Chains A and B, each alone.
Chain A
Amino acid sequence: MRGDRRQPDPRLVALAVVVVLAVAAVPFVASTYVVTVALRMVVLSLFALAFNIVFGAADMPSLGHAALFGTGSYVVGLGMVRWDWPFPLVVVAGLTAGALLGIVMGIATLRTQGIYLLLLTLAIGQAVWGLAFQQVRLTGGDNGISRIDRSVLTLGTDGVVGFYWAAVAVVAAAAALLYWFRISIVGTTIEAVGMSPSRLRALGFAVGSARITAFGVSGAFSALAGMLMALGNRFVSPENLAWQLSAEVMLFAILGGASWFAGPVLGVVLVIGTEVVVKDLTDRWPMVLGGLYVLTMLFLPDGVLGALSRRRRDSGGGPDPQPGRDPGPASDVSRGRDSGVATNTGATT
């Protein structure tokens, strides 16, 4: 970083402005059905970006992120439908709950890496899921909480389009904040910790607090995405907490390219886009989703962006898509680097 602060990448900012304008224009040119699909993509994009703070930046393969997402959803459901809280209180409570649960996860996983971190976050996520599933009187159990009023959050007009524009605005602002966080000193430290925890520890950095910060920030933004999802669907159920969602957000990040800030968004568009097309044709979507997992791991372990940049480099080499970060031949996350995942393979190497 040459001692300077990292500056925003102007091309990424320009791209983001174009994308946000294009996404905001969807209701003018497409049907309500397309708007609901786009809404889902926008909300999951925020979730995937938040997840990637822990995954792509800090190199911690969490399989419990649905718990953070779903916590936001349930705060909306419980606060608005069960307890009649004012909306601002719901927002504050949701963000706080997400951040706190994230911090708990961060502290609990301090001693773990790789597979063990994955399994521990999974166990925490399942404990939260179990609460939502079995506290039937409060959460409605499997039936969830319905009749959430989304008219509290609209922009420009009423109905689904108004909520859509509000969600796009919230997600755009949140994504900008996340980007600012990634290139801040703290974010840079987190990225460095992800690359080489032992080296950073030797240099005197507080590795543990960097990891906890990553989880806390990721938790708050994941919960924000979960809140938008509950409002958008006017419904929350244990599915918002299911670990399959945690696996799917990891698929988003890897398929797009976890080493890039915007990679997870690309993954969301690809997976959800495929889902919409496939579900229209057949009811064998789980099989196709399974195939996507398999094909991504076999052929695109660094994601679409990773494959593109390697191609570009092979044919004369364009500039890196994100300065300040060498994407390398393969995503660090998928290879396991330094003492991270590699520690756990110790016995076999």
Chain B
Amino acid sequence: MSFGSLLFLLASGLTLTFGLMRTVNLAHGAFYALGGYIGLEVIDRTDSWGLGLVVAVVVVAVAGVVVERVLLHRLLGRELPQILLTVGVAWIIGDVILAVWGGRPRTLPRPPGLDGVLRLGGLTFPWFRLGLVVLAVVVFVVLERSLATTLVGARIRAAVDDEETALAVGIDVPLLFAVTFAAGAGLAAFAGIWGGAFTGLRPGTEWDILLLALVVVVVGGLGSMRGAFVAALLVGVLDEFGKWLFPSFALFTLYAPVAVLLALRPRGLFGREERVA
């Protein structure tokens, strides 16, 4: 459950940007790692976990805006070049991280107040893991609700459905793109702070995390927040059972069912059929 919750935090940002921009952001894992390392640095220097979280999310969100405005926006509507461009961005961020923080594996501290375990009868639950589950539910509800009920959410949905009409009725779609991309990158950094305390950070984390997030997003259906939530829990459980039942096939039992699902249902579990223009 807790791993699934982390997976949802990872995937939420990715599915948000895909939902609006039809771009699979392959730099998502790099944003995650960058957030984790920035958070670590700030926490080390100021001894304040909260400040680390805020600085990491803000800095990475700003980096996201820069990538969107300066690079991605020039390739608007051209999916494949956008995807490969984000591969390039991921390589660059990954190498910057390696240059600044070196190749030693690091682990972030856990958030204050979430050390220790909760005992219920004979079972013990670490507070940190429970916190992750609660956090994932909160993030899911906030994202789902704000997309469904707020004005910005309505505009985003309008731009997703019909970009030209949205533009014509005065919605600033380019601004929405920048905001959404920033939110996606910020969510990645947010997940990085939590995931860095869960599984640690090391060179290559950016790719490992990206692939996990992609699995969740495509299983759930590209762009579907609810799908990402269900898929995250499903993949979390599948991964645990796979590791337990067939330890030497764990990666295979993660990817092979995904491939089969995609071959049969290219839109994933909750992806909607897209209109053919």
Name which of A31-39, A84-92, A119-127, A211-219 contacts chain B. Answer: A119-127
Q: Given A120, A290, A347, which contacts B275 in the complex, CB threshold below 8 Å?
A: A347
Interface pair B214/A122, CB less than 8 Å apart: yes
Interface pair B95/A130, CB less than 8 Å apart: no
Whether A333 sits at the interface, judged by CB under 8 Å, is yes
Give the nearest-CB partner of A250 in chain B. Answer: B84
Residues in B neighbouring A339, C-beta threshold 8 A: 276
Interface pair A336/B78, CB less than 8 Å apart: yes
Interface pair A298/B71, CB less than 8 Å apart: yes
Residues in A neighbouring B266, C-beta threshold 8 A: 111-112, 116, 120
Residues in B neighbouring A131, C-beta threshold 8 A: 249, 251-252
Residues in A neighbouring B102, C-beta threshold 8 A: none
Interface residues on chain A, size class: 35 or more
Whether B94 sits at the interface, judged by CB under 8 Å, is yes
Give the nearest-CB partner of A251 in chain B. Answer: B84
Whether B133 sits at the interface, judged by CB under 8 Å, is no
Whether B245 sits at the interface, judged by CB under 8 Å, is no
Whether A221 sits at the interface, judged by CB under 8 Å, is no
Residues in A neighbouring B275, C-beta threshold 8 A: 346-347
Residues in B neighbouring A126, C-beta threshold 8 A: 211, 251, 255
Q: Is the interface of B mostly helix, strand, loop or mixed?
A: helix
Q: Given A123, A297, A349, which contacts B77 in the complex, CB threshold below 8 Å?
A: A349
Given A115-B24, A297-B84, A298-B75, check contact A120 B211 (CB 8 Å). no
Interface pair B254/A287, CB less than 8 Å apart: no
Given A134-B249, A298-B74, check contact A289 B91 (CB 8 Å). yes
Interface pair A290/B88, CB less than 8 Å apart: yes
Residues in B neighbouring A341, C-beta threshold 8 A: 79-80
Task: Please report which residues of chain A, range 310-328, place their CB below 8 angstroms from some CB of chain B when the two chains form the complex.
Answer: none
A182 to chain B, nearest CB (A): 21
Q: Given B82, B90, B218, which contacts A290 in the complex, CB threshold below 8 Å?
A: B90
Give the nearest-CB partner of A285 in chain B. Answer: B95
Give the nearest-CB partner of B259 in chain A. Answer: A123
Given A126-B251, A286-B91, A349-B163, check contact A120 B262 (CB 8 Å). yes
Interface pair B95/A294, CB less than 8 Å apart: no
Proximity string of chain A (237-255) to chain B, C-beta cutoff 8 Å, 1 when within and 0 when not: 0000001100100110010
* Complexed CA–CA distance, A278 and B85 (Å): 20
Proximity string of chain A (326-347) to chain B, C-beta cutoff 8 Å, 1 when within and 0 when not: 0000000111100101111111
Interface pair A287/B274, CB less than 8 Å apart: no
Given A286-B91, A291-B88, A349-B277, check contact A134 B250 (CB 8 Å). yes
Q: Given A109, A134, A247, which contacts B251 in the complex, CB threshold below 8 Å?
A: A134
Given A134-B248, A247-B84, check contact A116 B262 (CB 8 Å). yes
Residues in B neighbouring A289, C-beta threshold 8 A: 88, 91
Residues in B neighbouring A348, C-beta threshold 8 A: 22, 77, 160, 162-163
We find that the number of chain B residues with CB closer than 8 angstroms to chain A is 56
Q: Given B83, B207, B256, which contacts A118 in the complex, CB threshold below 8 Å?
A: B83
Whether A11 sits at the interface, judged by CB under 8 Å, is no
Residues in A neighbouring B22, C-beta threshold 8 A: 115, 344-345, 347-348
Q: Given A112, A129, A294, which contacts B88 in the complex, CB threshold below 8 Å?
A: A294
* Complexed CA–CA distance, A284 and B95 (Å): 7
Residues in A neighbouring B163, C-beta threshold 8 A: 348-349
Whether A261 sits at the interface, judged by CB under 8 Å, is no
Give the nearest-CB partner of A112 in chain B. Answer: B266
Interface pair B75/A130, CB less than 8 Å apart: no
Residue among B83, B96, B249 having the largest count of chain A Cβ atoms under 10 Å: B83
Task: Please report which residues of chain B, range 4-31, place their CB below 8 angstroms from some CB of chain A when the two chains form the complex.
Answer: 22, 24
Whether A226 sits at the interface, judged by CB under 8 Å, is no
Interface pair B254/A130, CB less than 8 Å apart: yes
Give the nearest-CB partner of B74 in chain A. Answer: A298
Residue among A108, A119, A124 having the largest count of chain B Cβ atoms under 10 Å: A119
Give the nearest-CB partner of A109 in chain B. Answer: B263
Give the nearest-CB partner of A333 in chain B. Answer: B80
Whether A72 sits at the interface, judged by CB under 8 Å, is no
Pairs across A and B, CB under 8 Å, 23 listed = A111-B263, A120-B259, A122-B214, A127-B252, A127-B255, A130-B254, A134-B248, A250-B84, A254-B84, A287-B95, A290-B89, A291-B92, A293-B85, A296-B84, A297-B81, A297-B85, A298-B85, A334-B78, A335-B78, A345-B22, A347-B22, A347-B274, A349-B277
A-B contacts besides A111-B266, A244-B207, A301-B78, 9 pairs, CB < 8 Å:
A115-B22, A116-B222, A119-B214, A130-B255, A134-B248, A254-B81, A290-B92, A334-B78, A346-B276
